[in-house]
């Protein structure tokens, strides 16, 4: 009986290990560093006069500590009387078994009025993308309202 005891304990241990749920190899409930880089090309259509153009590069970092579910950044550009605002929100899971991905949601707002300080909203467009842990993703899109437009490029690096 004394010889059977170690064997029984070993078998029970093996069954516990075999039946325990495996956690993801990249489980990451910790800090995220989201690196943002991009540009916006802005066109102010002034028919019948010549159009005005603007170009702006931007970059920023969103730090997501383990206690916060989201963080944000905002970028703005202008060409004569057309203003473009890009709002970026990054969210992540606080679960112990989270896989490290972040969801990045953007809202692009195009304003047109008498100056770059205009608050006359012409168009608002939302988009989103999921960026896995340790990955980089890019997106590009155009917003257009009555000939006034902006082409945007955004690159997101989830540096976890």
CA distance 154 to 160: 18
Instruction: Using the Cα atoms of residue 73, residue 42, residue 53 and residue 35 in order, give the sign of their dihedral.
Output: positive
Count the helix, strand and coil residues of the chain and give each as a percent rounded to the nearest 5.
10, 55, 35
The pLDDT score that the predictor gives to residue 70 is: 95
The pLDDT score that the predictor gives to residue 14 is: 53
Cβ neighbours, 10 Å, residue 8: 10
The pLDDT score that the predictor gives to residue 97 is: 72
Give, as one character, the DSSP assignment of residue 133: T
The pLDDT score that the predictor gives to residue 76 is: 97
CA distance 133 to 160: 6
The pLDDT score that the predictor gives to residue 74 is: 98
Give, as one character, the DSSP assignment of residue 146: T
The pLDDT score that the predictor gives to residue 160 is: 80
Indicate the helix (H) or strand (E) that contains 147. none
The predicted-structure confidence for 9-20, as pLDDT tens digits, reads as follows 555 555 544 444
Which residues of the chain carry a pLDDT beneath 70? 1-29, 96
What is the tally of helices (H) and strands (E) in the chain? 1, 8
SS3 annotation, 1-68? CCCHHHHHHHHHHHHHHHHCCCCCCCCCCCCEEEEEEEEEEEEECCCCCCCEEEEEEEEEEEEECCCC
């Amino acid at each position: 009986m004394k010889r059977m005891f170690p064997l029984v304990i070993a078998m029970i241990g093996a069954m516990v290990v075999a039946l325990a749920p495996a956690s993801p190899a990249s489980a990451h409930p910790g800090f995220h560093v989201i690196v943002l880089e991009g540009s916006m090309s802005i066109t102010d259509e002034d028919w019948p006069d010549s159009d005005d153009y603007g170009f702006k590069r931007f970059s920023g970092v969103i730090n997501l500590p383990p206690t916060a579910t989201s963080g944000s950044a905002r970028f703005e550009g202008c060409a004569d009387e057309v203003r473009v605002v890009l709002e970026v929100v990054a969210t992540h899971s606080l679960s112990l078994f989270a896989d490290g991905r972040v969801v990045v949601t953007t809202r692009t707002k195009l304003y047109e009025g008498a100056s770059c300080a205009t608050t006359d909203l012409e168009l608002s467009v939302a988009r989103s993308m999921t960026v896995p842990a340790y990955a980089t993703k890019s997106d590009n899109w155009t917003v257009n309202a009555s000939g006034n437009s902006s082409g945007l490029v955004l690159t997101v690096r989830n540096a976890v």
